[in-house]
Structure 1
Amino acid sequence: MSDPGTALPSDPHRVPVQGDRSRVVILGGGPGGYEAALVAARAGAEVTLLEERGIGGAAVLTDVVPSKTLIATAEVLDQVADSARLGIRDADDGSAPTAETLTVDLGAVNERVRRLAASQSADITASLRAAGVRILPRRGRLVGPDRVQALDGPGDGAGDGAVVEEIGADVVLLAVGARPRELGEAPCDGERILNWTQLYELGALPEHLIVVGSGVTGAEFASAYRALGSRVTLVSSRDQVLPGTDADAADVLEDAFARRGVELRSRSRAAAARREGEEVVVTLTSGEEIRGSHALMALGGVPRTEGLGLETAGVRLRSSGHVETDRVSRTSVRGIYAAGDCTGVYPLASVAAMQGRIAMHHALGDAVSPLVAAQVSSAIFTSPEIAVVGVSEAEVASGEVAGEVLVLGLETNPRAKMQGVAEGFVKLVVRPGSHTVLGAVVVAPRASELIMPFTLAVAHRLTAEQVAGTFTVYPSLTGSLAEVARRVDAEG
């Protein structure tokens, strides 16, 4: 992506305000879309938001909110399974509690998941309406760089349907997201062969779930369903789970999988899946077959850019189908921006939201800082959680970035001992000499919460000494964040 630097009011790419109010049309009501709508409405723009599947998009209705709600339930069972080391025993027979001694009502769990997702969607909808955003429950299609058609009918992603309304726009934001990728020889039926949007309709716990794909989605659901009580087989085409993630973190997760009974099939690629009565058969490229009760196809996403009229408007796409954008979310067409999974920048709700906010600030005349990839933190909600930010150890090892790597295990942390935490670590990457924090990895319970101090350090170029000199609560897991930073002096 190009680097436009900080946008200035004289930027020729900006769209002139028409009269007193700019007309902003947003296609897609996920994090990128609704955050952009709020920014634009509060700036005084006339905002129309088109979303056919429900406000909040996939992130709220079928992806992030539902999956993390399910995972929160699984975490409770994980804690039960590990509570024997804390001295907890069954009141009747004195046996050690295990997750298997509890019954999971998956129908009730999924009903709660759907209810919370709907509640979150309703809260966002209320915020948009309070801000003055006009919401249309329609699909949108560009008919030029400054006109959008609202389409009726269910459609099939090809942009068909009757034209309900045509809307003029000074600014258009594409925030249409992505859909689950599927294998041609493993069509998802929503009953036994599932993508991640279909899991929340299950009324009973899968006896044996075969998870195809060991990226973030596959690893999270393998971890969650094993904790819930399903037998789980994870099919990974790579040598290690979570390709591209910190190798030490992946090792810890693989050890946790082995301890909890997840069967990992490394260097195995799925070629097909079919139903045989009450079973699912997943066929590997080697010809081997794995039988289970259900299969989850966790193979990444495909951008929803078909049928949007992008070619008509002149918007350039990458070979992958993603919209080409720069670091302030501009596309190749003046006045048209894009945010979220349809851009392929990072498949993260937080990044989509930031892209949407940046796009609107830029389009409406505010000076804005572009998206900085090194400041993006992310988390994997497995057990234990994995959170990362900034420069990785792999980049240091390859010579791509000059850095020093410091690692501290959690086994010496007093709070970890009290909670019976047996695995995890904190890793810090600093610049040689100045000790400026460049990156970090946290593997621990609630790592998604613990990464923020390191994200602040990366974003504001703090040194390890500044992190080390900041007070932490005793006892707490945050104590290890400061402790690893103090090792700069010890190892320098």
Structure 2
Amino acid sequence: MTFDYDLFVIGGGSGGVRAARVAAGETGAKVALAEEDRYGGTCVQRGCVPKKLMVFASGYGEMAKDAASYGWAMHAGGFDWQVFKEKLEAELDRLEGVYRKLLAGSDVEMFDARATVKDAHTVQLSTGETKTAKHILLAMGGKPVKPGIPGEELAITSNEIFHLETLPKRVLIVGGGYIACEFAGILNGLGAQVTQFYRGAQVLRGFDDEARGLVAEEMRKAGVDLHLGTNILEMKRDGEGIWVKATNGTESHYDEVMFATGRAPNTEGMGLEEVGVELGRHGQVVVDAFSQTAVPSIYAIGDVTDRVNLTPVAIREGMAFVETVFKGNPTPVDHDLIPSAVFTQPELGTVGLSEEAARENEEVEVYCTSFKPMQQSFAGREDRVLMKLVVSKANRTVLGCHIVAPNAGEMIQLAGIAVKMGATKEDFDRTVAVHPTMSEELVTMRSPMRTA
């Protein structure tokens, strides 16, 4: 059978774009890609990139205050949301152009249209066209979901937060995951009065307990009004803004309410189950270790599979797909020991197992220190940081590394290499400290704080 393309990719996010251009550029495959929204996907348009720029913007107020303690005659004026918003939108436009240029440079044919799956080798475009391909790659990503609370249509999600016409003075963030905590810190730093509700006992579920406890403590010290064990009962708009009734008995008004209560794979209405693609309980595409679905010609990568929902992971999955399908080198995806960062204030960097997860498997030693970092302490601030190693008592391997500190994301990238290589505590000990730095504590902790 003759096909229009060797590969048709549905979704123009980081994973889909990487797979498309590498398949076309390095193997000579005839490739097409369809994207119904903006190229770059969640990461570039509605996630990592604009969020990190907002993190940077939100930090300058405290920086200016600290500068005075170091002898600089300066102060932070009022933050101008319009100035920042215009520059942010221009940067996202530029990055979308980069993605389009990369695809065009690899001779990938692009369709600015919604694509659905018609059969094992055919996609239907919203333009009315149908296209056939030997292989179809699903890379549609995910989307934020709301929790089904009365009045939830009044709330925004992480999709809309970057496009607000004005910066809210009073904002409620609902959720306790990394998106909720990151935006609580961002908006607080930009000058908003931030309240955060989370129904659980502690934010950042799944991360190391000690690390997430310190993040929550520092968020509160910075001014975020964090309420745990709390959720919204109902909400409605009145003359004072958005009225919210909470499960803790309080009633308050806010200019904006943002839900960060989870994300769902973009599989609805895609025609997947009709052609034999298996979907999981949450709508995720079920795949094997090589990202192949129950239909042999259809593969899936990224958030649509709900494996590890991180941009670099989607890119790695896309590369493994090309190796497997187009280069004849079967390459399973490696999801083990993935370093990650949460851009809260302070940041949380982590790789490997939390103390709680590690001690379920074996006896461990915990090396941990918390202290006031030099830069902030000199400025008279009470901020604290955390450096923590979880070590196997049996073979001395570092099972997990957890850092709560400014620039923890930069630190954990490098620590992640050592942990991925199987470094032992003695390997860390043999490494000479870089002084004076916060991260030197990772190689100077000699005695365990506890055995668990």
- TM-score normalised according to structure 2 size: 0.92
Say whether 1:423 aligns with 2:384.
Answer: yes
**8 Å contact from structure 2 (residues 368, 448) kept in 1:** no
Identify the match of residue 38 of structure 1 among 9, 12, 21.
Answer: 21
Q: Residues 12-411 of structure 1 correspond to what in structure 2 (within 5 A)?
A: 23-41=6-24, 42-83=26-67, 86-88=69-71, 90=73, 102-152=77-127, 163-164=128-129, 166-185=130-149, 193-285=155-247, 288-397=250-359, 399-411=360-372
CA deviation vs aligned residue, 1:304-331 (integer Å, no higher than 9, x gap): 1011110222000011111112232121
**8 Å contact from structure 2 (residues 265, 304) kept in 1:** yes
Secondary structure at the counterpart of residue 374 of structure 1:
coil
Residue 471 of structure 1, CA deviation: 4.8
**8 Å contact from structure 1 (residues 405, 427) kept in 2:** yes
CA distance in 1, matches of 2:301, 2:347: 27
State percent identity of aligned pairs: 29
Residues 459 and 371 (structure 1), Cα distance of their counterparts in 2 relative to 1, 3 Å cut: farther
CA distance in 2, matches of 1:150, 1:113: 31
Question: Does 237-246 or 474-483 show the bigger shift?
Answer: 474-483
Residue 116 of structure 1, CA deviation: 1.6
**8 Å contact from structure 2 (residues 321, 331) kept in 1:** no
Residues 322 and 350 (structure 1), Cα distance of their counterparts in 2 relative to 1, 3 Å cut: same
CA deviation vs aligned residue, 1:237-272 (integer Å, no higher than 9, x gap): 011121222211222122212212211111111233
Residues 194 and 489 (structure 1), Cα distance of their counterparts in 2 relative to 1, 3 Å cut: closer
Identify the match of residue 436 of structure 2 among 472, 475, 480.
Answer: 475
CA distance in 2, matches of 1:416, 1:459: 32
Where do 5+ consecutive residues of structure 2 fail to align? none
**8 Å contact from structure 1 (residues 410, 416) kept in 2:** no
1:280 is aligned with what amino acid? Answer: I
Residues 414 and 465 (structure 1), Cα distance of their counterparts in 2 relative to 1, 3 Å cut: farther
Residue 354 of structure 1, CA deviation: 1.6
**8 Å contact from structure 1 (residues 388, 440) kept in 2:** yes
CA distance in 1, matches of 2:364, 2:330: 29
CA distance in 2, matches of 1:324, 1:367: 22
Residue 186 of structure 1, CA deviation: 5.1
CA distance in 2, matches of 1:123, 1:89: 39
**8 Å contact from structure 1 (residues 335, 363) kept in 2:** no
Residues 357 and 401 (structure 1), Cα distance of their counterparts in 2 relative to 1, 3 Å cut: farther
CA distance in 1, matches of 2:169, 2:116: 43
Residues 18 and 410 (structure 1), Cα distance of their counterparts in 2 relative to 1, 3 Å cut: farther
CA distance in 2, matches of 1:220, 1:50: 31
1:467 is aligned with what amino acid? Answer: F
Secondary structure at the counterpart of residue 257 of structure 2:
strand
**8 Å contact from structure 1 (residues 410, 480) kept in 2:** no
CA deviation vs aligned residue, 1:207-264 (integer Å, no higher than 9, x gap): 1111111211110011111111110100110111212222112221222122122111
Residue 69 of structure 1, CA deviation: 1.1
How many residue pairs end up in the alignment?
A: 450
2:144 is aligned with what amino acid? Answer: P
2:174 is aligned with what amino acid? Answer: V
Secondary structure at the counterpart of residue 159 of structure 2:
coil
Residues 124 and 488 (structure 1), Cα distance of their counterparts in 2 relative to 1, 3 Å cut: farther
**8 Å contact from structure 2 (residues 433, 444) kept in 1:** no
Secondary structure at the counterpart of residue 278 of structure 2:
coil
Residues 368 and 274 (structure 1), Cα distance of their counterparts in 2 relative to 1, 3 Å cut: farther
CA distance in 2, matches of 1:277, 1:327: 54
CA distance in 2, matches of 1:406, 1:382: 23
CA distance in 1, matches of 2:438, 2:99: 33
Secondary structure at the counterpart of residue 71 of structure 1:
helix
**8 Å contact from structure 1 (residues 427, 441) kept in 2:** yes
**8 Å contact from structure 1 (residues 32, 356) kept in 2:** yes
1:53 is aligned with what amino acid? Answer: D
Question: Does 329-338 or 439-448 show the bigger shift?
Answer: 329-338
Residues 362 and 269 (structure 1), Cα distance of their counterparts in 2 relative to 1, 3 Å cut: same
CA distance in 2, matches of 1:114, 1:319: 36
RMSD: 2.7
Residue 29 of structure 1, CA deviation: 0.7
Residue 138 of structure 1, CA deviation: 1.1
Say whether 1:438 aligns with 2:402.
Answer: no
Residues 433 and 185 (structure 1), Cα distance of their counterparts in 2 relative to 1, 3 Å cut: closer
Residue 406 of structure 1, CA deviation: 1.2
Residue 187 of structure 1, CA deviation: 5.5
**8 Å contact from structure 2 (residues 66, 379) kept in 1:** no
2:413 is aligned with what amino acid? Answer: M
Residue 441 of structure 1, CA deviation: 0.6
CA deviation vs aligned residue, 1:321-354 (integer Å, no higher than 9, x gap): 1111223212121121111111111221122222
CA distance in 2, matches of 1:427, 1:40: 41
CA distance in 1, matches of 2:351, 2:135: 32
Equivalent residue number for residue 418 of structure 2: 457
Secondary structure at the counterpart of residue 453 of structure 1:
helix
1:135 is aligned with what amino acid? Answer: M
Where do 5+ consecutive residues of structure 1 fail to align? 1-16, 92-96, 153-162
Secondary structure at the counterpart of residue 361 of structure 2:
coil
